[in-house]
Structure 1
Amino acid sequence: MDIFTFPPLAWLLDTAYGALAGLSSLLEPLAGASAAALAVVLVTLLVRALLIPVGISQAKAEQTRARLAPRLRELQRRHKKNPERLQREMLALYRSENTSPFAGMLPVLAQAPVVGLLYTLFLRPEIAGHPNDLLTHDLFGAPLGTSLVHMLTAGPFQLPTLLAYGVLLIIVIVVADITRRVFTPPPTPGDDSPMGSPGMLRAMSALHYLTAVFAVFVPLAAALYLTVTVVWTLVQRVVLRRRHPLPEPARV
């Protein structure tokens, strides 16, 4: 079943297509065949700019979680044999601080529809019954509607696509590594909670590279969106961390 035959979603997809195609036409004298790629970059920057207030709330939530971490560890130590009591106490603590363990997740959730629309726009040969002209655009010769996995498994092989994905993936992986090194908190001595276990810490560290894995499966246009997003996110986190620093860990 094609969900985009549902009238509201069909209208949304066609509207997004018209907006991106119109912006691409305006940029064509400047960027030529790569106008749609430049349009994707500008749309990404616009989306991220609109989410700046959410990013600020995310930084504040991270600051609050860091401040509450010692009290949470104490609750885990006291009630580790009573999971139900532990959950109640933790929720009560979050309520008393007017926050939640899920605070700050909105930026990720808010971007999911944008990535989904870009994925669909550069995947379908037709949009609302008319040809999808966005598929005629490329990024320095790499078609915006081709994914790296599709090219490698179904062909045809295209060197520009391989090079474009290579550059994007290098950027994403470097940003992920910087983010992991700068923003992953060091292990807390004496923390025997499940979240402090070596396996969990390794899993959380690996999550930083998940965007690179996801990028190889989506069309190049969506991979470009993800790349600009992770770079913006890193810069924004650095700036906001300076404005909302985490509390210094207690000295033992």
Structure 2
Amino acid sequence: MSFFITVVDLLARLLDPLLGASATAAGIVLLTLLVRAGLHPLTRAAFRGERARAALAPRVAELRKRYAGPKHAERLRRELTSLHAEAKVSPFAGLLPMLVQLPVFFVMYRVFSSAEVGGRVNGLLDHRLLSAPLGARWADALGAGGPFGAEGLVFLALFAALAAVAGWNVVRGRRSFAASTAALTSAGSGPGAGSGAGGAGDAGAAGMQRVARWMPLLAFGTLVTAAIVPLAAGLYLLTTTAWSAAERAWLQHRWDARSRAAVAAGA
């Protein structure tokens, strides 16, 4: 944690001439951006793996239909493992960028929840974002002047920004699920597909729809987290989720452009 404090303090000193009392908050944002930029190669690889898994979805659904039931569970596991190995796709690759970020978030939480770090007084707790201390929580802001007090307004702005990012993610997620569902159903009911494949496509589409219904709750979970963690950790959440939304939109745009170019070249 001492290393983290040193880095944040250094960034705050660099930004102090421009931002004054909010320099530490800006340093947290900048540090988060640097971490996410360093993770971009992993995120890009995870996105490619996700697209590859989406392409395998009709075959996965067919296997699940063919080997349904407890007595075929081992055979299904072997077939799915073989399919992913053949396509060189890991079903868990998308989790790596998220797992790498968790230690940064927990360190942020610990630093701004501790009065002392390494036997010394934690000076970062005195720094602020506008009127709100970076170590304060939503409950503290309510006690210091209510939701529309000076500190409360900072938290309300944070919640509004998180809600906007979450809403954007939900809209894009639903569009993506709709496109994937349509492709899966089409693959299952297209020319030459048997009844088993069609049933697999319908089952896969139904599964995607169930996941899509839960997505808003997952996306807006950041609001619940931001309400109970220190303001600094909430600021980290806002920065990293906004980066994720923009990064994913950019990767999807590049993927779509490349797909269109490949179709045009083959025409």
For normalisation by structure 1, the TM-score amounts to 0.85
From the superposition, tell whether residues 97 and 19 of structure 1 become closer, same or farther in structure 2 (CA, over 3 Å). same
- Deviation of the 1:197 alpha carbon: 6.5
The 1-side partners of 2:259 and 2:90 are apart by 18
- Structure 1 residue 199: deviation in Å? 4.2
Query: Match of 2:198?
Result: none
1:66–1:247 Cα contact (<8 Å) kept? no
1:52 is matched with which residue?
Answer: 40
Q: Which residue of 1 aligns with 2:156?
A: 166
SS at match of 1:99: coil
Q: Runs ≥4 in structure 1, deviation > 3 angstroms?
A: 149-152, 155-158, 187-190, 197-201, 245-248
Counterpart code for 1:68: L
Match of 2:202 in 1: 191
Residue pairs, 1:5-154, within 5 angstroms: 13-81=1-69, 82-152=72-142
Change (3 A) 1:227 1:37: same
- Letter paired with 1:147: R
The 1-side partners of 2:206 and 2:87 are apart by: 21
Distance 1:236 1:136, change over 3 A: same
Once residues 27 and 52 of structure 1 are traced to their aligned partners in structure 2, the CA distance between those partners, rounded to angstroms, is 24
Deviation by residue 1:24-72 (Cα, 9 ceiling, x = unmatched): 2232222111111010011011111111111211210111011111111
Residue 232 of structure 1: SS of its match in structure 2? helix
Give the deviation of 1:244 after TM superposition. Answer: 2.1
Residue matched to 1:220: 231
Higher helix fraction: Structure 1 or Structure 2? 2
Give me the TM-score of the superposition, normalised by structure 2.
0.80
Name the amino acid aligned to 1:34.
Answer: S
What root-mean-square deviation, in Å, do the aligned CA atoms of Structure 1 and Structure 2 show? 2.2
Q: Deviations for 1:83-137, whole angstroms, at most 9, x for unmatched residues?
A: 2322221111111111221112111111111111111111111111111111111
Distance 2:74 2:214 in 1: 25
- Gap runs ≥5 in structure 1: 1-12
Question: Structure 2: how far apart are the matches of 1:200 and 1:26?
Answer: 44
Unaligned runs of 5+ in 2: 186-200, 261-267
* SS of residue in 2 equivalent to 1:61: helix
Aligned residues with identical type, % of pairs: 38
Matched to 1:143, the amino acid is P
User: How many aligned residue pairs are there?
Assistant: 234
Distance 1:202 1:133, change over 3 A: same
Report the counterpart of residue 9 of structure 1 in structure 2: none
Q: Secondary structure at the match of 1:101?
A: coil
Q: How far, CA to CA, are the matches of 1:169 and 1:76 in structure 2?
A: 41
Distance 1:22 1:129 in 2: 20
